[in-house]
A and B are shown apart, each in its own frame.
Chain A
Amino acid sequence: MSYSLALRRDTLSKFSEFEKREPIQTKTETGDLLFNSSPKTVTKGINIVSFKSVIKLYPLATGDFYALKGIDLDIPTGSIFGIIGRSGAGKSSLLRTINRLEKPSSGQVFVGGIDIGGLNEVDLVKLRRRIGMIFQHFNLLSAKTVFENVALPLQVAGVPKADIQQRVSELLALVGLQDKHHTFPKRLSGGQKQRVGIARALATNPEILLCDEATSALDPETTQSILQLLRDINRQLGITIILITHEMSVIREIADQVVVLEQGEVAECGLVWKIFGNPQHEATKALLAPLQHHLPDDLQDRLQTTPPISGPYQQILQLSYNGENQLEPDLLRISQYFQGSSLLHGGVDRIQGHAHGRLLLAVDSNIALPDFKQLTQGNQAIAHHIEVLGYVAGTFHSR
């Protein structure tokens, strides 16, 4: 199932107009907070969420277990922020402290500059209405229709019926489900369910959207359409999106910044292209391994560490790119240095406009290799790193 981009952009802009219109007047205390504020004006400051020494421990029979061991982290307003890490690293625990589904054992969480640790019951409900959340298993109410599911956050906030009707229709149009108002969730596909989840999360016009493995239960194509929707939501509505995922490709495609958690601690944090291009921590490297273009097995088997004593052979070179200095694989210049070489394997991804990846070249033994240092430094560089992986007897062309 695919939705035409044009249609969605159209409904999105319609939706944005709806946002800018006169605020819906509601009599309830909670309702006022909801609609008088547009997302961009409520929160001042560059970081919409800040963690200060956040510790979370779960008391277990075997002793206290520290799921978070003092997290310090800032999440910029308006960004798409990824949280990655191995299973059990504490990703969900961290995310859930933002809307206080999880209460930190110590430390502070600031949302929009306010320490949410001190909120009372009523204020906590108000806070949660400013933070939408979507889940891996969608968590839609099976006894309610699509319409009723999306309407629920508004209904419990005391928004008048007529306004709910209009708002829900807009939201369902936004996520491309305008024809499913009266369908029960059971009859929807996974992708459609997540769209309902997103519509529901956006109902109260939040500033932040939390996504805990929101695409993990979806097939690749559906994942793409959900990611596109999330990107649109971020760009066009200015909603900060904080997402947990096990799919590095998701981070690569939509995140601006990423934090890597490892055993309850921040392993590293920064711009996605930097972290992905030059992972420092062992955990990050392990997570990114599936994205690497590994040496094909047949090549691996033929690879020798020293050149064969006799006969022609091929020198296998690896040129890597980590996104720094806007350096791109320039094929013309590469071939100038390695004449008659062939491109064996590899690939380049673009992350936030930075080329990432590696190329494997087979260079004939009769070509002398130049000094790699020159080729990897300054503005004459053809790659960030060049190394000889090994040697293969014979030629590749003769096969």
Chain B
Amino acid sequence: MSLALSIPADRYWQALFDTLAMVGVSGAIAFVAGIPLAILLVVTAPQGFLASPRLNRVIGSLVNGFRATPFIVLLVALIPLTRLLVGTSIGVWAAIVPLAISATPFFARIAEVSLREVDAGLIEAAQAMGCKKWDIIRHVYLPEALPSIIGGFTITLVALISSSAMAGAVGAGGLGDLAIRYGYQRFDTQVMVLVIVMLIVLVTLVQFIGDRYVRWLKER
């Protein structure tokens, strides 16, 4: 490769690493927090086995509220909370707070749909064999919806990669930040193109791995 880089290669690596850190950590948080939310949404729904319209409505509104707020607004609006949680409003860790908070309800809704699609006959069979509520969640809902949940999580990760680019606005770094700082503000087309290529590769890779995993789960 005889390409002369306009900025040190380190910059790219650092940006990639920052993006991976932001997406990875906030994705993990969204997964861990989103699944219980999704379960709550499903089991408290009118047809669910813990039907509780009130709780369902409260969680539903909360989830909708966060989903309705554009990420860029959330990013700014959450600054006080971010400060409280990580002590600063600047940097990778500061970006993770709004990223996780916006990705969680997004993923929760997707996972909710996945859980809802679990055949009612399976839930019934589980009840008939003497499964308690928690058993049904653990042995029926989660494993049966897993392929679909993983598919949804892949979508969430891709969405996070794109949101994380915006987090450059709070000086979080990452690929998006690099593209804006050099590519846009300094008219460095090379940086712009390279970052876009890296993002495409990243997204493709995430999607590929996600799809592969889903296929493996389904084809067992």
Query: Which residues on A are within 8 Å of B, measured CB to CB?
Result: 30, 99, 101, 121, 125-126, 128-129, 131-133, 135, 137, 139-144, 152-153, 155-157, 184, 186, 200-201, 203-204, 210
Contact = CB atoms under 8 A, between A and B. Distances in A.
Contact of B146 (A143, A200, A210): A143
6 contacts: A129-B130, A135-B125, A139-B124, A141-B140, A143-B143, A152-B129
A204 B128 CA distance: 11
Nearest to B139: A152
B220 interface: yes
For the residues of B in contact with A, the DSSP-based class is helix
Contacts, number: 68
A131 B128 contact: yes
A111 B139 CA distance: 28
A139 B127 CA distance: 12
Contact of B128 (A30, A133, A141): A133
B198 interface: no
Given A128-B130, A129-B130, A141 B139 contact: yes
For the residues of A in contact with B, the DSSP-based class is mixed
Contacts of A210: 128
Contacts of B117: none
Nearest to A122: B132
Q: Which of A128, A131, A133, A139 has the most CB of B within 10 A?
A: A139
Q: Which of B121, B128, B146, B220 has the most CB of A within 10 A?
A: B128
Contact of B130 (A101, A139, A143, A204): A204
B157 to A, nearest CB: 22
Number of chain B interface residues as a range: 20 to 34
Nearest to A197: B125
B124 A101 contact: yes
A156 B125 contact: no
Contact of B121 (A132, A139, A204): A139
B144 interface: yes
Contacts of B143: 141, 143-144
A183 B127 CA distance: 24
Contacts of B126: 152
Given A101-B127, A128-B129, A203-B129, 14 more contacts: A128-B130, A139-B119, A141-B122, A141-B139, A142-B144, A143-B220, A152-B126, A152-B139, A153-B131, A156-B129, A156-B130, A156-B132, A156-B139, A201-B129
A200 B129 contact: yes
Contacts of A142: 144
A184 B128 contact: no
A-B complex: 5 closest residue pairs judged by Cβ atoms: A143-B143, A139-B125, A153-B129, A129-B130, A133-B128
A330 to B, nearest CB: 49
A74 B181 CA distance: 81
A133 B130 contact: no
Nearest to A34: B130
A129 B175 CA distance: 57
B121 A128 contact: no
Contact of B135 (A121, A156, A186): A156
A170 B198 CA distance: 56
Contacts of A203: 129
